[in-house]
Amino acid sequence: AVTASGNGVIQVWDTANWKSVSKFTPIGLDNEYSNRVESLAISPNGSEIAISSNQRGIVICDLKTGAILRELQ
């Protein structure tokens, strides 16, 4: 499972025990109020996550490392 907070932090959870597996902020926030995460989508193979924000468009990240792979604006 994946969640996003209002300040752009993405958190990945192990659903077997509900412990956090990883936590990252891929969008490079300048200000928590101007760059909120609006939606998330996980790739079919579970390796990437698409994150949309109101300021940076869509960012595609590696789900395990949080590294930005592509950015669409």
Evaluate if pTM is beyond 0.85: no
Q: pLDDT confidence of 4, banded at 50, 70, 90? A: confident
Distance separating alpha carbons of residues 73 and 52, to the nearest angstrom: 10
Q: Tell me the C-alpha distance between 28 and 14, whole Å.
A: 25
Buried residues in 1-39 as b, exposed as e (16+ CB within 10 A): ebebeeebbbebeeeeeeeeeeebbbbebeeeeebbbee
List of residues 6+ apart from 17 with CB closer than 8 A: none
What single letter denotes the amino acid at residue 30?
A: D
pLDDT digits (tens, 9 = 90+) for 12-61: 899 999 999 888 887 554 455 456 788 899 999 999 999 888 777 888 99
